[in-house]
Chains A and B, each alone.
Chain A
Amino acid sequence: MIKRRITAIIPAYNEASSIAQTVESLRAQTEPFSDIVVVDDCSTDDTAAIAEALGVRVLRPPINTGSKAGAQTFALDFVRTEFCIAIDADTQLAPDAVEKVMASFDNQAVAAACGFVLPRFVHSVWERGRYAEYLFAFSFYKPIQEYFGKPMISSGCFSAYRTDVLRRVGGWSNRTMAEDMDLTWTLYQHGYEVRFVPEAVCYPIEPHNLHFLAKQLKRWSHGFVQNVRTHWRGIIHVPYLRLMVAVGIWDAVIASLAYLVVLPALALFVHPLFLLGYLIDLPAVAVPILLAGIRRGEFLKAILSLPCFLVIRLVNAAFMLRAVWSEFVLGKSLLVYEKGH
């Protein structure tokens, strides 16, 4: 195995309850880190004290940076290794995740690589919905994107980067609410490659109730629209990505209108049978989800989560429509970063 020098960057704001588990999972990696940096973004809890007690380097910006992007870019100045990996403070990695994801960098053109994301806890409706959603996205959409060399996002909760490239493009920007998507599309426009490694698995804590889910979806939906607005002219020249984004925005608007306006109207004014429209694609969606569930030995969990997928999809639709309306029509951009839990 090639010995690579890697720094872990963990942005943290009030993460006292999860930071120790994250650091422990990094220490248990088959490919060790040269340095583990926790960016304590002026937390008001014991995040910094816990991290220091674990013996990792703790950085503290003079004032709260206001976003994950800000905290990560602050840490970038202190990175002295060829590679760095950004990991959310609530995310645990499978023991071989770093080794698997770093293999992508044998190709010199690769600037970033990400792995398979699965919720750590799957109890509430929202966590179950997200579990099914991730199984679908990471076992169907993303491997197809990877085949064409254009994963749409190098996931913010766990991604590896070449440090020099990251510095060259200015680090993580806080101009949008989805800094991971922003960075990925920026890398493509500069001619770099991004990889998705399904064998590298990470486990973030997902929102367990509607209150926190709403904050996360608000960020994601506005972030997507803001990135389309920021990058549309550049990504038009990136093959495959342009189509994936165009189809994504089409689905975001049309599917949302269908779920929230057209189907209820048809059910109300024409016939209640139109409510079956909510289920029409469920068998098709179920195939990749259940296959991924079988592969992971989690068939029961996958099948029980399917109804929750339908629920979370409706919530996604509401937030997406609101974001499109707010950003494109009203011209009101979301500027304040709120944590999802």
Chain B
Amino acid sequence: MAGLPGTGLGGIFYALLIVWMAVREIWLLVRKRSSQERWRAIATFWLILAVIVAVLAGEFWFIQYALQNWISPVEAQNAYIYQYLQAVTPTLIVTPFLILGTMLMLLHLATWLLTPPIDSVTPSSS
């Protein structure tokens, strides 16, 4: 959304939505509510996602290569950075998915616990 700063968790969330589209569309296909136009849109999104994943993979490969070959021999401190990155990378990858999963569960739980205040949503302009 314009005006919002982040593309971190949001980016991963929208990437997962693209993956989910195909699953959802298969379900709609079974119920005869799918269309060729929607499949075309999904194919476009998957293509964009594939390019994004490829570009990110290339970027991480480049960072690793640079740290190993260009920077780490220069000073011990950089080796420390490399080791630090090696250690935190799995955490960095797993954490957003854990957060998203927790968010999803909490929101579903909230739908059961809270009733919609439909009367209070009508705006009252003054």
Contact = CB atoms under 8 A, between A and B. Distances in A.
A247 B12 CA distance: 10
Contact of B52 (A133, A134, A169, A287): A287
B107 A255 contact: no
Contact of A247 (B78, B103, B114, B120): B103
Contacts of B73: none
A153 interface: yes
A58 to B, nearest CB: 21
A313 B111 CA distance: 33
Nearest to B67: A273
Interface residues of B, number: 50
Interface in A210-224: 217, 220-221, 224
A126 interface: no
A62 interface: no
B48 A140 contact: yes
A284 B56 contact: yes
A190 B5 contact: no
Nearest to A249: B4
Given A234-B116, A283-B56, A141 B14 contact: yes
A61 B5 CA distance: 37
Contacts of A270: 81
A211 to B, nearest CB: 17
B47 to A, nearest CB: 9
B94 interface: no
Counting chain B CB atoms within 10 Å of each CB, the highest count among A137, A284, A313, A314 belongs to A284
Counting chain A CB atoms within 10 Å of each CB, the highest count among B10, B56, B111 belongs to B10
Interface string B1-40: 1111111111101100110010000000000000000100
B43 interface: no
A268 to B, nearest CB: 14
A140 B14 contact: yes
B90 interface: no
A185 B10 CA distance: 19
Nearest to B84: A270
Contacts of A250: 6, 9-10, 99, 103
Contacts of A140: 14, 48
Counting chain B CB atoms within 10 Å of each CB, the highest count among A144, A173, A270 belongs to A144
Given A69-B125, A189-B121, A247-B10, A144 B17 contact: yes
Nearest to B118: A189
A170 B125 contact: yes
Contacts of B68: none
Contact of B4 (A130, A147, A252, A284): A252
A244 B20 CA distance: 14
B87 interface: no
A237 interface: yes
A243 B110 contact: no
Contacts of A293: none
Given A189-B118, A233-B116, A251 B7 contact: yes
A271 B1 CA distance: 32
Given A169-B122, A246-B107, 16 more contacts: A147-B45, A173-B124, A174-B125, A186-B123, A233-B114, A233-B116, A248-B1, A250-B10, A255-B8, A256-B6, A270-B81, A281-B8, A284-B7, A287-B51, A314-B5, A316-B3
9 contacts: A140-B14, A144-B45, A174-B125, A189-B121, A236-B116, A251-B5, A251-B10, A271-B78, A316-B5
Interface of A: 69-70, 73, 117, 130, 133-134, 137, 140-141, 143-144, 147-148, 152-153, 169-175, 182-183, 185-186, 189-190, 217, 220-221, 224, 231, 233-234, 236-237, 242-244, 246-248, 250-252, 254-256, 258-259, 270-271, 273, 276, 280-281, 283-288, 291, 313-314, 316-317, 320
